[in-house]
């Protein structure tokens, strides 16, 4: 009887809000050095660096994961606009030139190669084991062009695991890209109850207990499929499972 009471007391302690918040605080400390701003650099422009979205360091420390639509920006070659990332290195901002080495429009994911010394990389978790109701957090640069380039963390849960495109009664309600996607076959994405904002695209979704990345915030591809029939898109946030990113990284080895 005493042993049962001790086990119940330990279980209650492990699930206490204080320990849950402590785990998240520790995870944020580990995550933040790996979060970068993905943007473009044009030295004749003021400001010279312009945010396009969020990215995070993976693999050997010189690869940056982000959304394909964030990385595939139209550059002004005549004005020497360069795809770049802005990272914090030893507490100081550092701009690194970048180039796209892999892209998956199907999953709206891209890998960038950056110049210079490796940065601390994040570990990828097993996204196939993610369950509805699971706690998550994501870190990025919401409205960074206005609020500044300080990494911001939001937390919530996986509220649903759902197909990227929802079939409708009338196919005419779908745009051409979504009709093509349904024809090729859908894949599951994570629906989150935490709100992402412009600038969060490409943010890593991670397990607060382990710090492992289980998904990538997507503000374009998924919303186009899930909310294409809505006159006013909702504030729901979606993430691409990290398994698709893991496959891209493996192909680079």
Q: Domain for residue 87, yes or no? A: yes
Q: Are residues 224 and 131 in the same domain?
A: yes
What local confidence, expressed as pLDDT, does residue 253 receive?
77
Q: Are residues 110 and 131 in the same domain?
A: no
Q: Are residues 244 and 154 in the same domain?
A: yes
Q: Domain for residue 97, yes or no? A: yes
In this predicted structure, the answer to whether residue 180 has a pLDDT above a threshold of 70 is: no
Residue 123 phi/psi, 5-degree rounding, is -85, 145
CA distances from 39 to 52, 74, 99, 198, 231 (A): 5, 11, 11, 13, 30
Quote the domain boundaries for residue 45.
Answer: 35-114
pLDDT in tens, 133-152: 999 999 999 987 777 899 99
CA neighbor of 107 nearest in space, from 16, 214, 241, 10 = 241
d(CA 218, CA 214): 13
pTM: 0.83
d(CA 104, CA 68): 7
Q: Domain for residue 11, yes or no? A: no
């Amino acid at each position: 009887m005493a042993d049962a009471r001790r086990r119940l007391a330990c279980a209650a302690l492990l699930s206490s809000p204080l320990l849950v918040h402590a785990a998240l605080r520790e995870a944020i400390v580990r995550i933040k050095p790996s979060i970068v701003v993905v943007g473009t650099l044009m030295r004749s422009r003021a400001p010279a660096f312009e945010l396009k979205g969020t990215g995070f360091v993976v693999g050997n420390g010189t690869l940056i994961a982000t959304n394909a639509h964030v990385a595939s920006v139209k550059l002004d070659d005549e004005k020497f606009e360069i795809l770049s990332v802005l990272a914090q290195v030893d507490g100081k901002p550092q701009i690194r030139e970048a180039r796209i080495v892999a892209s998956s429009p199907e999953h709206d994911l891209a890998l960038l190669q950056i110049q210079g010394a490796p940065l601390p990389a994040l570990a990828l978790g097993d996204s196939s084991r993610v369950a509805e109701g699971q706690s998550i957090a994501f870190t990025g640069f919401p409205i960074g062009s206005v609020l500044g380039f300080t990494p911001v963390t939001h937390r919530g849960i996986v509220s649903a695991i759902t197909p990227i495109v929802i079939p409708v009664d009338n196919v005419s309600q779908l745009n051409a890209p979504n009709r093509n996607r349904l024809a090729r076959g859908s894949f599951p994405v994570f629906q989150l109850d935490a709100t992402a904002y412009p600038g969060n695209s490409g943010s890593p979704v991670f397990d607060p207990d382990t710090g492992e990345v289980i998904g990538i915030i997507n503000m374009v591809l998924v919303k186009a499929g899930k909310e294409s029939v809505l006159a006013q898109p909702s504030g729901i946030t979606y993430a691409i499972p990290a398994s698709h990113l893991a496959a891209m990284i493996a192909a680079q080895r």
